[in-house]
């Protein structure tokens, strides 16, 4: 952590500043962790990422790999969210300032506590978003790394078949397959290898930034060891929706604002509405004078203000709740569909593997040609690549579900975990803000 300490004010206005709470020492501890790559263990590139995916005999020069688990990826992304850490610093600053006040201290502390809870919910929402983005990159990186091996294996098959075809052609024998088509396939695979390497670099760069690893000259990359460890957890649509409605930080924030509107000061809620939409809750010139005149001339104005904000919150809350429910239901449907598709893709792989064994056996007995074996192996590799893609789609669907539920920033496995504000257990805030 990088503490940021602000010095004491020692001007002639010091006494007045103490009374108003502006004289304080603010030592913040919410900055971005200074994590270096050394925190992740070194590993060989072929540390298991997907079962029984054997590396190709053709291997490029590889950089240093550091093992990264899905849980580490999620927790680091949540912990190092820049926006969330700035919001936490803002909440901490307001709380420390209120604690130092001497005049109307109780009101200041309650106001700061309410503001801190609002900012904490926004921070949790952003941590949830950041963790989801990092996990999505994590699984896409795993797919791309695994695809790199399949591309190399396919390239090896095509090069071997092309070599045999050209040898037969040189002897004037009839070719069992089109060597020019094989050459075009080789060029396609060479291009796919280059594109895959570039994509791996891109995903690593984006992940390093999201996980707050400082740019360094050493050539190292993440090895997403959990990329193909698929959860067998059952998923129930209604339970998933219930969890999302009870856990999503944004919905909990709106609950807090509605509670404060009913029990506290509508003017305070009006200020907080600006965090929802900048066009809401705006005042004209001299808002203090306007408030005084309104209270003197129109005793019912405060109630009108309260009703206006209640309607605005109700509209926004209902819209966000519908969005969360639809996102959760869609993610659940994607998970259920992808589970079926993964099983079917696995059956395709097994079917083509059986075809490869048959072709190899016939070739060894002189009953088949290398062209048949090559075609079977290429189709088998293509089926494996499809399987990897569908597994990745399933993993990403789980991420979408957990993001919609808002639980990625509240995972108890992450340390330190980010707790919900204290009000979430039933405590309520109120303000001594005069007549309403």
User: Are 352 and 376 a contacting pair, CB within 8 Å?
Assistant: yes
pLDDT in the model for residue 413: 66
Reported as a single tens digit per residue, the pLDDT across 310-322 is 888 889 999 999 9
pLDDT in the model for residue 353: 93
The CA distances from residue 95 to 88, 110, 288, in Å, are 11, 9, 24
Residue 325 lies in a domain: yes
Residue 186 lies in a domain: yes
Q: Which residue has the higher pLDDT, 113 or 289?
A: 113
Residue 12 lies in a domain: no
Q: Which two tokens stand for residue 407?
A: 């639980």
Residue 8 lies in a domain: no
CA distance 329 to 98: 43
Cα 143 off chain centre by: 17
Q: Which two tokens stand for residue 110?
A: 């309650």
CA distance 299 to 224: 63
Q: Give SS3 for 68.
A: strand
CA distance 45 to 64: 8
pLDDT-derived band at 331, boundaries 50, 70, 90: very high
Residue 24 lies in a domain: no
- Specify the residue for token string 């539920």: 405
Domain that holds residue 211: 35-225+232-425
pTM above 0.85, yes or no: no
The CA distances from residue 389 to 62, 229, 342, 376, in Å, are 23, 14, 9, 20
User: Are 35 and 213 a contacting pair, CB within 8 Å?
Assistant: yes
Count of CB atoms situated within 10 Å of the CB of 233: 7
- Specify the residue for token string 């054997």: 54
**Which H helix or E strand runs over 358?**
helix 301-364
Reported as a single tens digit per residue, the pLDDT across 13-36 is 343 333 334 444 444 444 555 457
> How confident is the prediction for the chain on average, in pLDDT?
79
Reported as a single tens digit per residue, the pLDDT across 211-232 is 998 877 677 899 999 999 998 8
Reported as a single tens digit per residue, the pLDDT across 370-403 is 888 888 999 999 999 999 999 999 999 999 999 9
CATH code for the domain of 398: 1.20.1600.10
Residue 161 lies in a domain: yes
pLDDT in the model for residue 114: 86
Residue 49 has pLDDT above 90, yes or no: no
Residue 18 lies in a domain: no
CA distance 382 to 150: 8
Residue 1 lies in a domain: no
Please tell me the total count of domains within the chain. Answer: 1
Reported as a single tens digit per residue, the pLDDT across 136-149 is 999 999 999 999 99
pLDDT in the model for residue 288: 54
What mean pLDDT do residues 92-115 have?
81
Reported as a single tens digit per residue, the pLDDT across 399-426 is 999 999 999 988 766 755 566 676 554 3
pLDDT-derived band at 167, boundaries 50, 70, 90: confident
Percentage of the chain lying above the pLDDT 90 cut: 44
User: Are 418 and 124 a contacting pair, CB within 8 Å?
Assistant: yes
Beta bridge partners, 223, equal: 67
CA distance 120 to 127: 10
What mean pLDDT do residues 248-268 have?
84
Percentage of the chain lying above the pLDDT 70 cut: 75
């Amino acid at each position: 952590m990088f503490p940021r300490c602000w010095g004491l004010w020692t001007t002639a206005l010091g006494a007045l500043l103490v009374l108003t709470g502006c004289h304080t020492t603010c030592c913040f501890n919410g900055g971005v962790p200074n994590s270096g790559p050394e925190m992740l263990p070194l590993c060989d590139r072929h540390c298991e990422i997907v079962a029984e995916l054997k590396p190709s005999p053709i291997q490029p020069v590889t950089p240093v790999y550091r093992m990264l688990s899905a849980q580490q990826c999620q927790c680091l992304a949540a912990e190092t969210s820049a926006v969330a850490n700035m919001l936490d610093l803002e909440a901490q600053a307001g709380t420390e300032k209120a604690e130092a006040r001497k005049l109307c201290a109780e009101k200041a502390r309650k106001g700061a506590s309410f503001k801190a809870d609002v900012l904490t919910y926004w921070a949790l929402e952003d941590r949830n978003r950041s963790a989801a983005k990092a996990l999505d990159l994590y699984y896409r990186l795993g797919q791309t790394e695994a695809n790199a091996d399949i591309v190399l294996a396919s390239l090896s098959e095509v090069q071997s078949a092309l070599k045999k075809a050209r040898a037969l052609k040189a002897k004037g024998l009839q070719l069992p397959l089109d060597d020019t088509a094989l050459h075009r396939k080789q060029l396609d695979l060479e291009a796919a290898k280059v594109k895959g390497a570039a994509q791996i670099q891109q995903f690593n760069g984006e992940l390093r930034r999201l996980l707050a690893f400082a740019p360094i000259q050493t050539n190292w990359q993440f090895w997403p060891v959990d990329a193909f460890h698929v959860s067998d957890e059952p998923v129930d649509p209604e339970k998933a929706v219930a969890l999302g409605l009870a856990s999503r930080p944004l919905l909990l924030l709106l609950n807090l604002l509605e509670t404060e509107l009913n029990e506290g000061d509508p003017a305070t809620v009006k200020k907080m509405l600006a965090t929802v939409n900048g066009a809401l809750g705006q005042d004209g010139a001299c808002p203090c004078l306007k408030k005084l005149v309104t209270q003197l001339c129109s005793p019912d104005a405060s109630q009108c203000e309260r009703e206006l904000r209640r309607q605005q919150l109700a509209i926004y809350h209902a819209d966000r709740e519908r969005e969360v429910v639809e996102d959760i239901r869609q993610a659940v449907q994607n998970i259920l569909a992808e589970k079926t598709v993964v099983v079917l893709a696995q059956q395709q792989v097994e079917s083509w593997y059986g075809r490869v064994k048959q072709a190899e056996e016939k070739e060894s007995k002189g009953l088949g040609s290398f062209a048949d074996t090559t075609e079977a192996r290429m189709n088998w590799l293509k089926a494996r690549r499809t399987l990897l893609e569908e597994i990745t789609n399933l993993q990403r669907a789980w991420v979408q579900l957990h993001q919609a539920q808002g639980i990625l920033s509240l995972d108890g496995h992450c340390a330190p975990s980010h707790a919900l504000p204290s009000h979430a257990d039933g405590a309520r805030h109120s303000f001594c803000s005069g007549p309403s």
